[in-house]
A and B are shown apart, each in its own frame.
Chain A
């Protein structure tokens, strides 16, 4: 069965510091991988996605993520965090088939940014 683990429930970083949010997945084959961000009371915004090709994926707002098959990981990174990055971040995995399989989400990591 598919599953996504985000080990860190809450992370606090200083503004300007670098950020890495961890995501590990369990899937029988090469999955599609996604990172979403959610601000309080808002819907999900897609930050980036990995389907195939280059394992380092660039997204919006200066975020990037690297797919590491050997580690079953898809960690999200940003070199310099801004106060507006404070939000909830969700990693998700999807199957490559064309059926009705929904995305499976991790439990999320809440990011706080301090001055």
Chain B
């Protein structure tokens, strides 16, 4: 149990276009999901915390209008990179947390590789 999927696994787009990445918890309901960004040979950098039915909480330095996060249901959160530019190329990873009451454990998706040309 506790499987998280991401779609697409990789995407290549032209500069100026928008890209949507989906994160789904397949066998549990996730009231909270997290979005991370990872540059080559670096650790995961938390971008935002997404709660179902409410606005996402962004980390300092992350542009809210650039990285739109929607957590419309208990099993789906989306990250939209708007007007993507080459510097947005990165590996994006989501994670989902079980509902409150259990251990604070996150389950990670396989990641999405974004390349902006």
What is A's interface to B at a CB cutoff of 8 Å? 32, 34, 36, 41-44, 46, 49, 51, 88, 90, 94-103, 105-108, 110
Contact = CB atoms under 8 A, between A and B. Distances in A.
Contacts of A102: 34, 46, 49, 95, 106
A90 B110 contact: no
B82 to A, nearest CB: 23
A100 B32 contact: yes
A45 to B, nearest CB: 8
B15 to A, nearest CB: 23
A94 B91 CA distance: 22
A96 B43 contact: no
Given A96-B104, A98-B100, A98-B104, A105 B110 contact: no
Contacts of A32: 103-105
Ordered nearest first, which 3 A-B pairs have the shortest CB separation? A43-B110, A98-B100, A43-B111
Size category of the binding interface on chain B:
20 to 34
Given A43-B108, A44-B93, A98 B101 contact: yes
A96 B102 CA distance: 9
Given A100-B57, A102-B49, A90 B111 contact: no
B44 interface: yes
Contact of A90 (B32, B43, B95): B43
Contacts of B78: none
Contacts of B113: 41
A34 to B, nearest CB: 8
B42 A51 contact: no
B105 A94 contact: yes
Contacts of A44: 44, 93, 108
A12 B19 CA distance: 38
5 contacts: A32-B103, A41-B91, A42-B110, A44-B44, A51-B103
A63 B106 CA distance: 20
Given A90-B44, A108-B43, A49 B105 contact: yes
A98 B105 CA distance: 10
Nearest to B50: A100
